């Protein structure tokens, strides 16, 4: 691994693209099962043997789960002639299974060209959307983003962090700092009470953990679609998917871990008339009526390059990223020796805002949206390296007998 110390970071960025293909092929099928005791025993035996051999050794333990999260997003966009500018501000609050709370404060901007035809206006309040006119538009943009991650010891400290952020103060030194840049394309079509939107993009990023000194290079790709029919019941639906591949380097710029994560959400709902909404809310204990409710799934894979059985295959890929034999060997290592986590969440989202625009080739428009997304963990399972699938009872309690 010391031979990696002089390798330029740009070389690793190129390797991330190769890793995306390898991970996708290796994790196409995941077995099922459960054997917590077997995994604990074999994991500790492997760790002991590694330490006797002089290490370095990978930590066999699973990372904490996100058991609940809330994201508040403010989105602004302005179009003038052929130029479109977007700006997003968001705060993501994640309650972790170890009792800590992660706060991710992100800002991003997108600049590019847009074309359109037609004129339209819309407004949304409390999940109910109203629209008029018809418009067709498309845009291509470059994106830049930055995020800071703060880790609070408990809910009380997290609340104090949020108050400081709202006052424009830095609550504490951030645990992580993230930067990202890429390209994206978006399109919208609307006619009367029917609207459809789509977005897809790809970005390269870098994330630095200030506590450990680790740096992770990432390749992100994702797409999202949204549609609504403005009727008396305001029917709407949304779907998205995203995939991230990463290569983690230690403070000496030596690779220590490969990672991949994939996720997707499907949600639907109906914004009811106000009188009916109030009646139903009174009979459901204050539950949200009119939000987009759905399910989200996540798959995370981590492959430690400290594992001697993996290190040789990584060296082969690093020396020759185009070698079919080397890529096949790395794929087998990912399939057999990666730490896998699978989780499902119940989700809900509400949005309010307004937009208006007119276009005839060139476009003049403005829009603002305030979106609140919530998620709660339903199930979580994990498979340690060379182990068996087991339920993550540290994240979701086992059902009563």
Task: Write out the two tokens for 297.
Answer: 């799934």
Cα separation, 390 vs 381, in Å, equals 6
Walk along the chain (401 residues) and give the pLDDT tens digit of each residue. 444 544 555 566 666 666 666 665 555 533 333 345 445 545 555 555 555 555 556 565 678 999 999 999 999 999 999 999 999 999 999 999 999 999 999 999 999 999 899 988 887 776 566 777 788 989 999 999 999 999 999 999 999 999 999 998 999 999 999 999 999 999 888 776 677 888 899 999 999 999 999 999 999 888 887 766 655 455 677 888 888 999 999 999 888 898 988 899 988 776 544 444 444 444 443 334 456 789 999 999 898 888 777 888 888 888 888 888 888 888 888 888 888 899 999 999 888 888 898 988 889 999 999 999 999 999 998 888 877 788 888 898 766 54
Quickly list H helices, 131-286: 155-166, 274-283
Give the C-alpha separation, 273 to 232, whole Å.
Answer: 7
Paired sense of beta strands 390-391 and 215-229, if any:
unpaired
**Confidence (pTM):** 0.82
**What is the dihedral sign for C-alpha 211, 212, 215, 221?**
negative
Whether the Cβ atoms of residue 316 and residue 310 lie closer than 8 Å to each other: no
Residue 155 φ then ψ, to 5°: -65, -40
């Amino acid at each position: 691994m010391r031979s990696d110390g002089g390798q330029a970071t740009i070389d690793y960025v190129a390797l991330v693209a190769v890793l995306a293909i390898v991970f996708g092929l290796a994790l196409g099928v995941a077995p099922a099962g459960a054997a917590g005791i077997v995994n604990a025993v074999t994991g500790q035996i492997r760790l002991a043997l590694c330490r006797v051999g002089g290490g370095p050794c990978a930590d066999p333990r699973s990372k904490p789960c996100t058991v609940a999260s809330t994201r508040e997003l403010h989105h602004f966009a302005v179009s003038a002639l052929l130029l479109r500018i977007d700006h997003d501000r968001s705060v993501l609050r994640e309650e972790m299974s170890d009792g800590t709370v992660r706060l991710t404060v992100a800002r991003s901007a997108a600049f590019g060209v847009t074309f359109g035809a037609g004129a339209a206006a819309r407004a949304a309040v409390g999940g109910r959307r109203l629209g008029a006119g018809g418009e067709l538009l498309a845009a291509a943009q470059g994106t830049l983003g930055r995020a800071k991650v703060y880790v609070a010891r408990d809910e009380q400290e997290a609340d104090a962090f949020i108050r400081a952020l709202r006052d424009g103060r830095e609550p504490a030194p951030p645990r992580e700092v993230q930067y990202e840049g890429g390209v994206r394309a978006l399109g919208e079509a609307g006619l009367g009470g029917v609207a459809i939107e789509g977005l897809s993009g790809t970005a390269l990023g870098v994330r630095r953990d200030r506590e450990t000194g680790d740096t992770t290079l990432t390749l992100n790709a994702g797409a999202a679609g949204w549609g609504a029919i403005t009727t008396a019941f305001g029917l709407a639906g949304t779907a998205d998917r995203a995939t991230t591949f990463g290569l983690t380097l230690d403070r000496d710029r030596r690779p220590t871990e490969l990672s991949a994560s994939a996720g997707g959400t499907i949600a639907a709902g109906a914004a009811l008339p106000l009188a009916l909404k109030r009646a139903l809310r009174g009979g459901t204990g204050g539950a949200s009526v009119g939000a987009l409710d759905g399910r989200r799934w996540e798959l995370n894979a981590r492959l430690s390059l400290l594992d001697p059985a993996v290190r040789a295959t990584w060296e082969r890929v690093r020396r020759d990223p185009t070698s079919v034999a080397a890529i096949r060997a790395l794929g087998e290592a990912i399939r057999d020796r990666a730490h896998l986590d699978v989780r499902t969440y119940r989700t809900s989202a509400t949005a309010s805002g307004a937009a208006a625009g007119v276009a005839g080739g060139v476009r003049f428009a403005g829009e603002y949206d305030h979106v609140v997304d919530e998620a709660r963990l339903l199930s979580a399972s994990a498979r340690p390296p060379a182990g068996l699938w087991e339920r993550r009872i540290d994240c979701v309690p086992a059902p009563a007998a």
